[in-house]
A and B are shown apart, each in its own frame.
Chain A
Amino acid sequence: MLSKKSILDADSLSLEDIKLILSNADSFLEISRRDVKKVPTLRGKTVINLFFEPSTRTKTSFEIAAKRLSADIINFSPSTSSLKKGESIIDTIKTILSMKVDLIVIRHSDSGTVKMVDRFVDIPVINAGDGKYQHPTQALLDLYTIKKRFGKFEGLKVAIVGDFLDSRVARSDMNLFEKMGMDVTIVSPTMFLPEDFSGMKVKHCIDDVIEDADIVYMLRMQFERQDRKFYPSVMEYNRFLTLNMDRLGKMKPGSIVMHPGPVNRGIEITDEVMDTSGELAEKIVIEEQVTFGVAVRMAILYLMLG
């Protein structure tokens, strides 16, 4: 069992809880590799996938995780609901609670919304991403991916590259990475950084970190989350921040490239890097992240409902 009812942000995950989730993920990864990928662990439990913001990967990942554990999972998204009729989010939650569900997975486009919902409900809540605030299960699956590759966390050098300020993934990752003893550098231009970043390790160009990093974590350029575009152009981005073949080639042996997906080809990562084969391709662990995501979410659901 986890020490808290809900998973709302990376900050409130204790070291013990993180370790418990990661160690449990191993056995659930094994289930996903079987021919019959289903265990009866959560039979009779009902999980709601409440997605107020469009999502493919995370929603599907939770859905597969729940189904492999035999839980009933229901997808609920605002386009098909009464939310457009002016129903408040609290009323929506109350309606769902009345149907006696056991756990709610929530994604919302506004920061802090999952925390607010959690105060209204007694059942466990999982934050599947809220606004620019947090995406804790992404950070957990990122940790698991790192664990599988490196077998340790302490002292690993991570460079998080891109729009730090608008990224919930970066916020959650940075917290968990530092919690596990990793050395985090943010590679970001000024407009994607807090006004005062004196307390952070910051570089402005990927070339400053590429040779030394164990993990290069490329953030998605959140064009959809920026209402004002201060970054000049893709060409400028390519010059300072994009992972291209030249930069990939400079990475040290054993180092890896991560990305929360979906990748904007030609912006964060070039086509050539995405489609590369051979030795260098081993560095790109983006698909592993997705595979491991299911196992980690199975572990989370199991620990919260089992």
Chain B
Amino acid sequence: MNKNEKKNVLVKSGRVIDPEKGKEFISDIYIKNGILAEMGENIKAKGKEITEIDAKGCIVCPGFVDMHVHLRDPGFEDEETIETGTLAAVKGGITTVACMPNTSPPIDSESMVKYILEKSEDAACRVLPVAAMTRGLKGREITDMGLLAEAGAVGFSDDGRCVVDSRLMYEVMRYSTQFGLPLVLHEEDYSVSRGGLVNEGRYSSMLGLDGISSLSDDVIIARDIILAGRSRAKIHITHVSTRGGVEMIKKAREGGLDITCDVTPHHLFFNDSYLTSFNTNLKVKPPIRSEEDRRALIEGVKEGVIDAIASDHAPHLDTEKNTTFRLAEFGTIGLETLFSAAFSKLCREEKISLPGFISLITTSPAKILGIDAGKIEVGKIANITVIDMEAEEEIKRESFISKSKNSAFIGQKLKGKIVCTISKGKLVYRRG
């Protein structure tokens, strides 16, 4: 990022997609002093301090919203920081990230929410903290959810952990209704998943790797649907990975529950047959599931059961991945490949419409979190991403600017590349 980047930007002749209004049109966009000042054909901007971007043949859309990101800050700054994580985000076209609370200390207090908000003031993109549901993420006591909400938390989650105590989960749900914020739920039954490394099925058996049955997700999703039915809480199932999960969420929503869900690009992209390489970057939680599950996720996106795509960006050091499969940490980075990985599968392979796809990474997650983002609006601070849809590249380890390099997509050819990103009104990323 060049901090001295000229303040005024003219994006010429792009195909603008407005996912909110469901419109597509060719237009110039003029950003003056950080504000989206003008939209229309043949804008003649005056003044010397103008960066012009030729967006002919490119898509121009709202900056993406990634509602599931681990920035590792504070506590694990050797893996990622707010600074490096947001630079990686804007390289991926993302201008808003919701960061998860499993930092050290965790985001379970007012002061921690403020720390994130203050430290991210100068960051390349907007950072919105998701605060812990339970103190210390321990699953025993409810956090000061009211104070956390007032301090600026956009949701609550014990992500990475599941609240085992059903009564406590029920009380968290009931209490959350006072504040109207969503609960972002990581669904895992530890009595099922304990010791497991990969999806339980044909490949776990072939590879001699202990399995994590899809029952692990499904049992807790079923429980939380029951609890949400009683409490009327707004729940969001994150990184849904199973056919059973998609089916239950669909039914629950049809039954009138305020339930949403997201899926990661890696669960859409891979199935467990890729594990035969023992590539530790594919060791994630929930695990990469069977082809049958992957198909159900794709269909879930097509049918509108799945509301959003989120990266679950989980940076880890080389030493945590360059080890045996059993000892390696769970997680893949995903900010820089969020668009291209999902676009390659959903639009190129599955022929999902581009505006529909764009809404999954803009307006839809913004709506779930209740934030003002993911739109193109004249008069507002500009958050815009320009994409070259025809570009294709093989993902290389060296190309990542995230502090960690543990990408499941290394070696894969992905379509669609971010040309530039305007975040918080500034041109913060331009393709080299």
Determine whether B1 belongs to the interface, using a CB cutoff of 8 Å to chain A.
Answer: no
Task: Give A128-142 as 1s and 0s: 1 = Cβ < 8 Å from B's Cβ atoms.
Answer: 001111100000000
A88-B322, A89-B323 known; A168 and B208 CB under 8 Å? yes
Cβ-closest chain A residue relative to B277: A115
A111→B200 contact, CB < 8 A: no
Residues of B within 8 A of A227 (CB): 194-195
A30 at the interface (CB under 8 A from B): no
Q: Quick one: given A111-B325, A131-B326, are A195 and B200 in contact (CB under 8 Å)?
A: yes
Interface membership of A1, Cβ < 8 A: no
A112, B207: Cβ atoms closer than 8 Å = yes
**Smallest CB separation, B312 vs chain A (Å):** 23
A199 to B319, CA, bound (A): 39
- Give a binary string over A173-211; 1 marks a CB under 8 Å from any B CB, 0 the rest: 000000000000000000000111000000000000000
Question: What residues of chain A lie closer than 8 Å to B208, measured between beta carbons?
Answer: 111-112, 130-134, 166, 168, 171
Q: Is B205 an interface position by the 8 A CB rule?
A: yes
Q: For chain B, what secondary structure do more than half of its interface residues adopt (helix, strand, loop), or is it mixed?
A: loop
A112→B201 contact, CB < 8 A: no
Residues of chain A within 8 A of B210, CB atoms compared: 132
**Would you call A90 and B322 a contact (CB within 8 A)?**
yes
Q: Is B226 close to A, CB under 8 A? A: no
What are 18 inter-chain pairs, A to B, with CB distance below 8 A? A88-B319, A89-B323, A110-B324, A110-B325, A110-B326, A111-B278, A111-B326, A112-B278, A113-B325, A115-B278, A133-B208, A133-B209, A166-B208, A194-B201, A194-B204, A195-B211, A196-B202, A227-B194
| Alpha-carbon separation in the docked complex, A112 to B213 (Å) | 20
Per the CB 8 Å criterion, the residue count for chain A at the interface is: 24
Does A108 belong to the interface (CB within 8 Å)? yes
Tell me if A84 counts as interface (CB < 8 A to partner B).
no
With the chains together, A196 CA to B204 CA distance in Å?
11
Q: Is the CB of A116 within 8 A of B324?
A: yes
Which residues of B have CB within 8 Å of A134?
208
Which residue of the partner chain B has the closest CB to A131? B208
Q: Which residues from B are CB-within-8-Å of A168?
A: 208
A contact residues around B200 at 8 Å (CB): 195
Question: In the complex, what residues of A have CB within 8 A of residue B326's CB?
Answer: 110-111, 131
Residue among A90, A116, A171, A227 with most chain B CB within 10 A? A116
- Chain B residues with Cβ below 8 Å from A267 are none
Q: A31 at interface (Cβ–Cβ under 8 A)?
A: no
Contact across chains for B324 and A113 when beta carbons are under 8 A apart: yes
* B212 shortest CB reach to chain A, Å: 12
Residues on B with beta carbons closer than 8 Å to the beta carbon of A29: none
Q: Given contacts A113-B324, A131-B208, A132-B209, list 10 more A-B pairs with CB under 8 A.
A: A88-B319, A89-B323, A111-B208, A112-B207, A112-B208, A113-B325, A131-B209, A134-B208, A171-B208, A194-B201
B397: min CB distance to chain A, Å: 14
Q: Any chain B CB within 8 A of the CB of A123?
A: no
- Across the two chains, which residue of chain B brings its CB closest to A116? B278
List, in ascending order, chain B residues with CB within 8 A of A111's CB.
Answer: 207-209, 278, 325-326
Chain B residues, CB < 8 A from A112:
207-209, 278, 324-325
Give A71 Cβ to nearest chain B Cβ, in Å: 27
> Taking CB as reference atom, which chain A residue is nearest B215?
A195
List A residues at the B interface (Cβ < 8 Å). 88-90, 108, 110-113, 115-116, 130-134, 165-166, 168, 171, 194-196, 227-228
Which 5 A-B residue pairings sit nearest by Cβ, starting from the closest?
Answer: A132-B208, A112-B278, A133-B208, A110-B324, A194-B205
Q: Are B195 and A228 in contact (CB under 8 A)?
A: yes
Name A197's closest neighbour in chain B (CB-CB).
B205
CA distance A139 to B209 in the complex (A): 20
- Measured CB to CB, the nearest residue on chain A to B211 is A195
Write the chain B residue with the least CB distance to A175: B206
What chain B residues lie within 8 Å of A133 (beta carbons)?
207-209
Cβ of B401 within 8 Å of any chain A Cβ, yes or no, is no
Bound Cα distance A134, B206 (Å): 9
B201 touches A196 (CB 8 A): yes
Contacts of A89 in B (CB 8 A): 323-324
Question: With the chains together, A89 CA to B278 CA distance in Å?
Answer: 15
Chain A residues positioned under 8 Å from B325 (CB to CB): 110-113, 116
Q: How far is the CB of B274 from chain A (nearest CB, A)?
A: 13
Measured in the bound complex, the distance between the Cα atoms of B210 and A132 in whole Å is 9
Tell me if B147 counts as interface (CB < 8 A to partner A).
Answer: no
Any A CB within 8 A of the CB of B371: no
The proximity string for B residues 323-349 relative to A, scoring 1 for CB distances below 8 Å and 0 otherwise, is 111110000000000000000000000
User: Which of chain B's residues have a CB closer than 8 A to the CB of A88?
Assistant: 319, 322-323
CB distance from B245 to the nearest CB of A (A): 17
**Least CB distance, B367 to chain A, in whole angstroms:** 38
CB distance from B328 to the nearest CB of A (A): 10
Question: In chain B, residues 185-223, which have Cβ atoms closer than 8 Å to a Cβ of chain A?
Answer: 194-195, 200-202, 204-211, 213
Pair A110/B327 contact, Cβ less than 8 Å? yes
| Residues A165 and B205 in contact, CB atoms below 8 Å apart | yes
Question: Quick one: which of A112, A116, A195, A228 has the most chain B CB within 10 A?
Answer: A112
Nearest Cβ distance between residue B203 and chain A, in whole angstroms?
10
User: Which residues of A lie under 8 Å from residue B202 when comparing CB positions?
Assistant: 194, 196
Measured between alpha carbons, how far is A115 from B194 in the docked complex, in Å?
A: 25
Q: How many angstroms between the C-alpha atoms of A112 and B209 in the bound complex?
A: 8
Task: A171 to B206: give the CA distance in the assembly, Å.
Answer: 7
